[in-house]
Structure 1
Amino acid sequence: MKDLGGLMKQAQAMQQKLAEAQERLAQLVIEGTSGGGMVKITLKGTGELASVELDESLLAPGEGEVISDLIVAAHADAKRKLDEQQGQLMREAAGPLAGMGLPGMPKF
C-alpha cells in the first residue's frame, strides 16, 4: 500500500502543476502575422481573438479579398504558435508522464 500512497501524492502534485499551467496559458498573448507584417492578429491563451491590425496600404478599394486571405493566414500563424506554447506548458506540467497516453491525461 506504500506505493499507492506515493502514487496518490504524485497524482496530486501533477494535478496542481496542470492547474498552474492552465493559469499560465490563460495569461498568454500570442501574435501572428502575414503579408510581411501587414496583418497582425493577437490571440489570448484561451484562443480568443484579442486584436487585428491592418497596414493602411491594404485599405485601398479592391483589396478586400487580399485582406481576407491575410487575416486567415495571420490567424493560422498565431494559432500554430499558441498550440506550440500550450503543448510545451502542458508537457512541462505533466513531467515524466507526458505522452504516455494515460486515461484522463491531456494529449500533447
Structure 2
Amino acid sequence: MENFEDIMKAAQNVQEELQKAQASLENIEVEGVSGGGLVKVRASAKGIIKGVQIDDSLMTPDEKQVLEDLIAAALNDARVKADAKSQEEMGKMTSGLPLPPGFKLPF
C-alpha cells in the first residue's frame, strides 16, 4: 500500500504545482500585433485581453473594414501567443514531476 500512498502524494504535488502555474499565467503578458504594428493587443497568458492600441491613421471612416480586420488579426495573434506562453510555463512547472510517459496536464 506504500506505493499507492506515494502515488497519491505525487498527485497532490502535481495539483499544487498546477495551481501555482495557473496563478502565474495571469501575470504574464503577451502582445498580439497586426498591420505592421498599427494594431496591438495586450493579453495575459490566460488569454484575458488587457488593452488595445490603434494607430491614429486608422481612425477614418474609409478605414473601418481594414481596422476591423486588423483588430481581429491582432486578437488572434495575441491568443496564439498566450496559448504558446501558457504551454511553455506549464511545461516548466511540470518538467521535474514524476509523471508517466504520455500523461497530459491539466487532467
- Tell me how far apart the structure 1 counterparts of residues 69 and 106 of structure 2 sit (CA, whole Å): 32
TM-score with structure 2 length normalisation? 0.85
Contact preservation (8 Å) 1:40, 1:53 = yes
What secondary structure sits across from 1:17 in the alignment? helix
Alignment of 1:22-61 (within 5 A): 22-61=22-61
Amino acid at match of 1:52: V
Contact preservation (8 Å) 1:14, 1:93 = no
Alignment of 1:1-108 (within 5 A): 1-95=1-95, 96-97=98-99, 100-101=102-103, 105-106=105-106
Moved over 6 A (4+): none
Amino acid at match of 1:51: G
Aligned residues: 105
Percentage identity across aligned positions? 37
TM-score with structure 1 length normalisation? 0.84
Structure 1: stretches of 5+ with no match in the other structure:
none
Change beyond 3 A, Cα 1:69–1:82: same
Amino acid at match of 1:78: A
CA-CA distance at 1:12 after TM superposition: 1.3
Alignment RMSD = 2.0
- Tell me how far apart the structure 1 counterparts of residues 17 and 62 of structure 2 sit (CA, whole Å): 50
CA-CA distance at 1:20 after TM superposition: 0.5
- Tell me how far apart the structure 2 counterparts of residues 99 and 39 of structure 1 sit (CA, whole Å): 42
Contact preservation (8 Å) 2:33, 2:73 = yes
Amino acid at match of 1:31: E
Change beyond 3 A, Cα 1:99–1:37: farther
Amino acid at match of 1:93: M
CA-CA distance at 1:49 after TM superposition: 1.6
